Chains A and B, each alone.
Chain A
């Protein structure tokens, strides 16, 4: 394509009067038919080879002017600015298209509850303190080794302080679900039930010089069950968490432990969960396990699982469905 500046367009400015005007561009020739018919004839003549007739349903001469300009660009757009412009428009259009489809898609998703929950049929279990490889290692003599756990736990348990609970949450009737149906009108924020830190007894860490037992080699590990919206855990029957050593030797090394609340019970009143947006102050129930005499300097594999009527804990693939396995090691010199 030769570089033809617009100034080289030797086209007749009186084309509107002429029945047909030719626009010579190098070897090409455009013939514009009468602009005053309802259809514009654009005859494109490229050397002896091609001649294409286009009929455009345009009638306004100003539009035609624009059209001719555009054509000029199509033929003459050798400068990078045109290419840039093209990609700008093209990608702008693509972005708009993408945004539109994403917007349409997001309309199908509710703010409050996810559309599908099939993956979360069985809630998982998890421990606190949260560590990189799910192992709780305590060097009794080395304060630093457990101090980070303690810091994490302090932070984790802060919302459970009785004062905060009393201020924000209701006292519910234990042993039954705390349902707050919408009944046709959106009813939110929904109320949550109190879970007071004091319920955790020796593991509450309140006024505890042993720092959840970490300084004495009797650590507390907190078990929590994953939140799943509208999940009625336990199917109206009481449920509790139990912990065992994974293998026989683990069971021996594990020694004895106590659980808070007693028996590792989780009350039904903390269910169902209505989601982050509705259930603003929801407080997740916890079970604390205090290991009293773990054989020191041995790695102990502990597995805790929930005993609930509607939570299967034997999923082959998901090792955390209704259960949690972690390592416990108390190093004493």
Chain B
């Protein structure tokens, strides 16, 4: 049985009964968590609330949830590590699933079925009946995972409104106060709403990509209704419909088979088994009848009655269970939360500190509150949400081009921090088709080309044995190309037949040319198909030599069975008696090929003497009126599902990137190990315990486990392991292959890896993989082989099912982390330059150097495009040679980043901007010395004759205008230095000149946008008084340039020392 799906089922039902499953937590709550930690953070909350990017508001909501996890009810429980309990539960749940799934149908007779479902197997349902049922039971489709209602996606509005009210109160308290605060409130509200819309739009866009993708392949079903065969969309199937299935079709719903013609079904997506299996089992999942939705039928045709549709199918049930498995918070969400904590901490503590200073300096409390708000606004990177969203979706787009479809934007980064990849074998690491790998004839093993196009077959084809062997391969084969594929390359042609026969057909087609033509010339007169008791397949043909009237009997099958039937063996085209030495050679070859994990077939033939079997002889396969012994053995041929050619390289890349690749497969351990070796998951020079034992010729128990680097663990062994043993296994061995595992064990493996603090990526295609996909930090579903359930559960879909695409994804994920770091560093830097003016204003009493609205114009105007431009930055050279980042140690925003941005570059920027500010004031008449402690007089409306350094007198409005000019100057000062900041942030380690100053064109677009926006603000909108911009004299634009150059030079020096002294004090403190 498949106990796992059973307990998953129960788990989800428990969730449901416990109150609607896991309700989606209201987004936006993350910030509550943040501010609950800081009880005095009310105002910070107001302002930061709007910062809460909806996409980052993740599961954990405040103390409530913590409590939930602590009490351990619900979904956490299934992780229950106690062995016995798990065991107990499993058994229990297996029964429950049986009860739950009403699958008695396969035991009913057809008559009973017809009665039960009110249908007729010949005429089918009537259209009206069908329509009725469709209306009652809903379409035959899986309910997509619950979407957050759109209204919930704008929770930030609350924050904005609160914020506005605060400003409103301030305005009504003091009516004479300028309208600035109200404008600011409006702008903030606008910002909040716009970023909310923007984030929503981005998210919706990426969801649309996914939606369009799933619509790409509309499924059709051939159904009998009103006594007619009709093609209807699979969605419209209802219970009781009679459907016909052809080879290669997906079974559209759970059906009960009524009749079949040589039809086998591949239930791998349900059970994880990879080969089509004829199943006889009590368990409905394993029983031969009925068939389940989503299974594919590779051969034959069948008729069946639909007994379950939509979510009520077994698939549907499992899929809905998958959503019961809790999804961990994505690493990037954690990082962003951490970042918000830091920013909030800095903002609020500086704010409070200066509030106290201001109050103790005898400022009015109301003024002090305004200072507080100003300081917080200066500290909050308003534009970051938009930037992060754009960065993520840009990368998602880029990855989609490389066949990685990202469903959940945050998953982009998760892939980058992956430290363990649990990969499927079939289809992901391999090409997912049997291919001839080796041949053995003339006492020699030949290697066949297994690359994707088979183009390069180099083995010796001159031998007479090969001529005979090729004939057997061609003739003793029932597989055929589907007609109408003349223009398709051979390897891509669709074949009707099972995997081995397909492999042989394509192999012979590549080498010999038109196989169908050869078969036509050698007309088949009789055939015994393969069955599991005989273990061979036999056919008798006329020869294509008109002078040779003999019949040719060809046979293929399990090598030992085939050999039994032979008395001679063909060597170099000559028949020789089969003696012990040749039999020995055969066995050696057989063992060797079997040891490579390959499926070996033996081939033999016999020319039936023309005298006994004349042309008119009638062969009867039931009585077997022809000899089936004393044949001539021709050769062996072995097949394997070969690794994709790109995989070994990709695995090597993972290695150097510090990522552990674990293979998890349902296949036989030997095959699994062979593939693992050939792709490098088990490296060439490492051995398993068994290998060492074999080499040293000692029992396995005596081998020191430390000597072995690799391990092959079967599902059976895994079953008996305690979680501690699994942990030990995962830490002790660097190269692990899990074979013969069920998809449920995948979940156990994933949890084991996660206990090691690893970020785990899991690939999967089957429905039963979906709990593991959900549980994994990043679930990767296969786009071609994957079931809808797996795709729904996954965060990412590989469109080409190719492991190498994961590696590309890892690179992109790391790049995005780096680039986000750069973006954040860029964004944080100017915070100091925005903050210092307030501090100086409060302490030294200078006229306010920069207003809050102006700050918003930097945060949301000039800085937006440049910070997005950093997302286009190419990777630094070492990106795939680093260890994966440690979830808990390598933070997005770490101390060096904050210190370097705030205390180094930020401070330099502040100084540079102050120079511009002082220049403007000095050249207008207020020397720096005159500005100190001028604040009170400066701001008094009644003072209209304020004296400057030259004895001139200024009215209030004249001063105000000068103050705005000061704002503009400070703004321009910051903007100019942000250009330098942008350039230095292109790299963290390499010199800008190594990275290429002009390689990222978007950076220059960003710089241009910065300058253009500033020009527009100053010269275009300089007359709009609400914006507080004025026309600045052209020379003031260049005052900060020396400081900008200094920033660049300083950063180059920093990078130089980092490169010179890796691991040094400097490296540790200056590399962010």
Could you tell me the distance between the alpha carbons of A329 and B1042 in the complex, rounded to whole angstroms? 57
Closest residue of chain A to B948 (Cβ to Cβ) is A114
A residues lining the B interface (CB < 8 Å): 1, 27-28, 44, 46, 49-50, 52, 54, 71, 73-78, 82-83, 87, 90-91, 94, 97-98, 101-102, 105-106, 108-109, 112-117, 119-120, 123-126, 130-134, 224, 226-229, 273, 275-277, 279, 282, 315, 317-321, 324
**Residues of chain B with a CB closer than 8 A to A320's CB:** 944, 955-957
**Residues of chain B with a CB closer than 8 A to A126's CB:** 944-945, 953
Q: Contact at B950–A77, with CB atoms within 8 Å?
A: no
Interface stretch, picked from B570-578, B624-632, B692-700, B922-930, is B922-930
Quick one: which of B925, B956, B1033, B1062 contacts A50, CB cutoff 8 A? B1062
Could you tell me the distance between the alpha carbons of A226 and B1025 in the complex, rounded to whole angstroms? 24
**Residues of chain A with a CB closer than 8 A to B1039's CB:** 105
Q: From residue 1051 to 1072 of chain B, which have CB atoms closer than 8 A to chain A?
A: 1057, 1059-1066, 1068-1069
Q: Contact at B927–A75, with CB atoms within 8 Å?
A: no
Q: Contact at A102–B915, with CB atoms within 8 Å?
A: yes
Q: Contact at B952–A228, with CB atoms within 8 Å?
A: yes
Interface stretch, picked from B345-353, B671-679, B736-744, B906-914, is B906-914
Q: Does B942 contact A (CB under 8 A)?
A: yes
**Residues of chain A with a CB closer than 8 A to B928's CB:** 102, 106
Q: From residue 245 to 261 of chain B, which have CB atoms closer than 8 A to chain A?
A: none
Q: Contact at A120–B954, with CB atoms within 8 Å?
A: yes
Q: Contact at B1059–A229, with CB atoms within 8 Å?
A: no
Q: Does B1046 contact A (CB under 8 A)?
A: yes
* A322 CB to nearest B CB, Å: 10
Q: Does B123 contact A (CB under 8 A)?
A: no
**Residues of chain A with a CB closer than 8 A to B924's CB:** 114-117, 119
Q: Does B919 contact A (CB under 8 A)?
A: yes
* B426 CB to nearest A CB, Å: 37
A-B contact pairs, 5 of them (CB 8 A): A1-B1065, A83-B1069, A116-B1033, A226-B953, A229-B952
Q: Does B1043 contact A (CB under 8 A)?
A: yes
**Residues of chain B with a CB closer than 8 A to A113's CB:** 950
Given contacts A105-B1039, A321-B955, 8 further A-B contacts (CB under 8 A): A74-B1064, A74-B1065, A90-B904, A94-B908, A109-B923, A124-B945, A124-B958, A131-B942
Quick one: which of A91, A105, A319 contacts B918, CB cutoff 8 A? A105
**Residues of chain A with a CB closer than 8 A to B950's CB:** 112-114, 229, 275-277
**Residues of chain B with a CB closer than 8 A to A224's CB:** 945
Quick one: which of B923, B953, B1065 contacts A77, CB cutoff 8 A? B1065
Could you tell me the distance between the alpha carbons of A87 and B1059 in the complex, rounded to whole angstroms? 21
Q: Contact at B911–A76, with CB atoms within 8 Å?
A: no
Could you tell me the distance between the alpha carbons of A112 and B927 in the complex, rounded to whole angstroms? 12
**Residues of chain B with a CB closer than 8 A to A276's CB:** 949-951
Q: Contact at B962–A101, with CB atoms within 8 Å?
A: no
B side interface size, CB within 8 A? 50
Closest residue of chain B to A50 (Cβ to Cβ) is B1062
Given contacts A44-B1062, A46-B1062, contact A319 B957 (CB under 8 A): yes
Could you tell me the distance between the alpha carbons of A109 and B926 in the complex, rounded to whole angstroms? 10
Could you tell me the distance between the alpha carbons of A229 and B949 in the complex, rounded to whole angstroms? 12
Given contacts A97-B1046, A105-B919, A117-B925, contact A275 B1057 (CB under 8 A): no
* B1017 CB to nearest A CB, Å: 19
Could you tell me the distance between the alpha carbons of A268 and B773 in the complex, rounded to whole angstroms? 90
Interface mask (B943-973 → A, CB under 8 Å = 1, otherwise 0):
1110111111111111001100000000000
* A21 CB to nearest B CB, Å: 18
Quick one: which of B915, B922, B943 contacts A98, CB cutoff 8 A? B915
Interface mask (B1035-1046 → A, CB under 8 Å = 1, otherwise 0):
000010011001
Closest residue of chain A to B907 (Cβ to Cβ) is A94
**Residues of chain B with a CB closer than 8 A to A98's CB:** 911, 914-915
**Residues of chain A with a CB closer than 8 A to B908's CB:** 94
**Residues of chain A with a CB closer than 8 A to B1057's CB:** 74
**Residues of chain A with a CB closer than 8 A to B914's CB:** 98
Could you tell me the distance between the alpha carbons of A156 and B951 in the complex, rounded to whole angstroms? 16
Q: Contact at A318–B1065, with CB atoms within 8 Å?
A: no
Q: Contact at A318–B955, with CB atoms within 8 Å?
A: yes
Q: Contact at A106–B952, with CB atoms within 8 Å?
A: no
Given contacts A74-B1061, A101-B1043, A116-B924, contact A94 B951 (CB under 8 A): no
Closest residue of chain B to A97 (Cβ to Cβ) is B1046
Quick one: which of B919, B947, B957, B1065 contacts A76, CB cutoff 8 A? B1065
Q: Contact at B1025–A28, with CB atoms within 8 Å?
A: no
Quick one: which of A76, A101, A109, A116 contacts B927, CB cutoff 8 A? A109
Given contacts A94-B911, A114-B924, A123-B953, contact A78 B1062 (CB under 8 A): no
Closest residue of chain A to B1040 (Cβ to Cβ) is A101
Q: Contact at B952–A132, with CB atoms within 8 Å?
A: no
* B926 CB to nearest A CB, Å: 9
**Residues of chain A with a CB closer than 8 A to B915's CB:** 98, 101-102, 105
Could you tell me the distance between the alpha carbons of A131 and B943 in the complex, rounded to whole angstroms? 9
**Residues of chain B with a CB closer than 8 A to A28's CB:** 1063
Could you tell me the distance between the alpha carbons of A74 and B1063 in the complex, rounded to whole angstroms? 10
**Residues of chain B with a CB closer than 8 A to A133's CB:** 942
Could you tell me the distance between the alpha carbons of A319 and B958 in the complex, rounded to whole angstroms? 10
Quick one: which of A44, A105, A106, A119 contacts B1060, CB cutoff 8 A? A44
**Residues of chain A with a CB closer than 8 A to B943's CB:** 130
